[in-house]
Structure formats: C-alpha cells, structure tokens
Amino acid sequence: QKEVEQNSGPLSVPEGAIASLNCTYSDRGSQSFFWYRQYSGKSPELIMFIYSNGDKEDGRFTAQLNKASQYVSLLIRDSQPSDSATYLCAGMNTGFQKLVFGTGTRLLVSP
C-alpha cells in the first residue's frame, strides 16, 4: 500500500464548476500536507499546504484536512481550462523530513 493514495482520474469538470480532488494517507505520523500542480512536461509547483485540521482557503483554492480520517482534499472553485493539469498530493512526516507523493489526479476542465 502506497503511503499516499490518489485516484488517477481523469476528473472531468465543465468550466466554472467546482473540482474536488481527494487524497488519503496511511502514515498517522504525517503532520503536513501539500498540493502540487504539474502541467504536462513541466515540474511540480506548490499551490497549497495545510498543517491543521479544517479548511484553508487561498483564492479559488481550498485545502481540507481531516487527520482522524486521514483524508486531504483540494477544492478548486470556478474551474478554468488553465487548471487542467495533474494534481499531486504529498504528505510530510516531520520525523523523517521528507515529502511522500501520491501518483496524482489528472484534472480536465472543458470550456
């Protein structure tokens, strides 16, 4: 079992809709979580991080963390075609100081 699991998708949503991306993790020692966006042929870039249970909002993006359920999500409001990319969820165990990535979910936003 991978430490961080994501549905590979693709997740298809129409322009303007809310895209919901989900991630589960197995290591209860994981303390912080990161969402990276990766366009095809490019490197991952950080878009959100979250340390505490609950919601964290940044513009059109909201990250949600539920440590009891070991569940992380990313909501993208008013989805745009430019949001079409692969979204990588990553967890960090502060004891080991390293990021462990899921395999990513491909998001397709249609005009």
Partner 1 sequence: DAGVIQSPRHEVTEMGQEVTLRCKPISGHDYLFWYRQTMMRGLELLIYFNNNVPIDDSGMPEDRFSAKMPNASFSTLKIQPSEPRDSAVYFCASSFGTGQRAFFGQGTRLTVV
- The residues of the shown chain that bind partner 1, judged by CB under 8 A, are 31-32, 34, 42-46, 49, 51, 88, 92, 94, 96-104
Q: Provide the minimum distance between the beta carbon of 37 and partner 1 in the complex, in angstroms, as a whole number.
A: 11
Q: Provide the minimum distance between the beta carbon of 72 and partner 1 in the complex, in angstroms, as a whole number.
A: 15
Q: Determine contact, residues 19/58, Cβ cutoff 8 Å.
A: no
**Closer Cβ to partner 1, 30 or 79, answer by number:** 30
Q: Is the dihedral of CA 30, 33, 106, 103 positive or negative?
A: negative
Q: What is the DSSP letter of 81?
A: G
**Closer Cβ to partner 1, 80 or 103, answer by number:** 103
**Closer Cβ to partner 1, 84 or 106, answer by number:** 106
Q: Provide the minimum distance between the beta carbon of 101 and partner 1 in the complex, in angstroms, as a whole number.
A: 4
Give a three-class secondary structure readout of 47-91: EEEECCCEEEEECCEEEEEECCCCEEEEEECCCCHHHCEEEEEEE
**Closer Cβ to partner 1, 45 or 78, answer by number:** 45
